[in-house]
Amino acid sequence: MSDYVRSQIFRRLDKKVISLDENTSQQLQKLDFELNKIGVNLNQLSKKMNSFSAYNVGHNDRKLLKQAFQMMMKCLAFLQEQLN
């Protein structure tokens, strides 16, 4: 129990406050929305693949994975840009 309390106290001390302009804030909200959509799509594909032992990844699945990867790379680029 004491380890948990200690970790919570020290974690709070390490937090930094970041101020964002309105444009950046809106972009981060869009980024959050897009990442959530990607997660939902990947979960649906994973469920399909795990539910059917004979399931083969088809053209549409490959297309979905490629789109998800491209969007995640865009999100990463945006976040890296914000850190610089």
Q: pLDDT tens digit string along 31-60? A: 889 888 888 888 888 888 888 777 777 888
74 neighbors 41 (Cβ within 8 angstroms): no
Instruction: Give the DSSP per-residue string, 26-54.
Output: HHHHHHHHHHHHHHHHHHHHHHHHHH-TT
Q: pLDDT tens digit string along 3-33? A: 776 676 666 656 666 777 898 888 888 888 9
Identity at 40, one-letter amino acid code: V
* Residues written for the chain: 84
- Which pLDDT value is given to residue 11? 67
What are the boundaries of each domain within the chain? 18-83
pTM of structure: 0.58
The span from the first CA to the last CA of the chain, in angstroms, equals 39
65 neighbors 45 (Cβ within 8 angstroms): yes
